[in-house]
Amino acid sequence: MNDLLTVSIEGPTLDDYDAGLSLHRYRVLDGYHMFKAIKSLCSSYLVILAHFEHVSQARPGQTTPAVVGRSTIMMNKLKDWRVLRFMFFLYDMLNIISILNECSCIDFLDALETANLSLIQLGQQPGEHLQAFLDSLTIDANGQCKYKNTDLTHYDANADYKELQAVIEAVTNRINGIFESDTDPVKPFLQAARVFDIKEWPNDRAHLAAYGNAEIQQLSDHFSDVLDNMGCERNQLQQEWTVVKAHFGNQIRNVPLRPNQNVLDINSLFRDRNRFKHIKRLVQIVLTLLVSSAICERGFSCVKRIKSDW
């Protein structure tokens, strides 16, 4: 399960943000590819099963005995009720985790909490896809289980859904262990980065005046070398930060959002290239923050796509 939860990021460059592009998207890399594979398996079950059945019945000379053997193993597994049940369970679970692929760096902690709550619900009852699978099963008078007119082996009418809770607990502990460890050196900067989430800003001037000053200084000190190389005058950050708060704070207090209007977003700073030029450099860094070192694992995934057993 650890391999499923390796986290990485893909996204645009710093120059792209000057054009006002959206935030980076988080990708649960290995889990993302497995999610796509399981989704294809569940939605095209009969097609995939027919393929392995065809290859397993290949005549001598059409393919190698090793391929025939592997296809036979896969065919038998796809006819195993236990395997299919677990596949549809994984489909629901990875569908929940995939929300981490659709959020920004600033919104990631909220998405993580959403995933936690959804996983708790999944532990209490089967998810949408697993429930649809269970409902589609037919049992004849002899106790033979069929799924889409295919006989399944190892059917257990008394199987307890709670036995899958151990998997959910392991996944929950894993994703929280990555991002909620008190000793994680990344966490303080992720927390400081939330200062750019305008939805969390206080509405009154008294609290807004001092809001985020410590976080801006923390980020400025940590990324001092990068900011200097980018031509940022770090002694101007606090002053520009006050102007940024005045700019957005005035809109928050005095300009109520119309129906269907988007919530104020820090990306709007990039609409004016000549304003907030120093604070924008810090925002650019925050929007490209890595939340894990797992990007280094990409090389191994690429090698596996080139050299495999198939």
Rounded to whole angstroms, the Cα distance separating 132 from 127 reads 9
- How far CA 33 is from CA of 6, 18, 91, 194, in Å, comes to 11, 31, 12, 29
* Phi, psi (deg, nearest 5) at residue 24: -60, 155
pTM over 0.75: no
Give the per-residue pLDDT at 261.
Answer: 45
Give residue 43's pLDDT band: very low, low, confident or very high (50, 70, 90): very high
- In the predicted model, is pLDDT for residue 108 greater than 80? no
* Phi, psi (deg, nearest 5) at residue 26: -80, 145
pLDDT in tens, 261-278: 445 566 666 676 678 888
Give the per-residue pLDDT at 216.
Answer: 92
Give the per-residue pLDDT at 100.
Answer: 73
pLDDT in tens, 184-235: 666 787 788 888 888 788 888 888 889 999 999 999 998 899 899 988 899 9
Give the per-residue pLDDT at 16.
Answer: 37
pLDDT in tens, 122-165: 998 999 999 999 999 999 888 899 999 999 999 998 888 888 88
Amino acid 252 reads I
* Phi, psi (deg, nearest 5) at residue 21: -70, 165
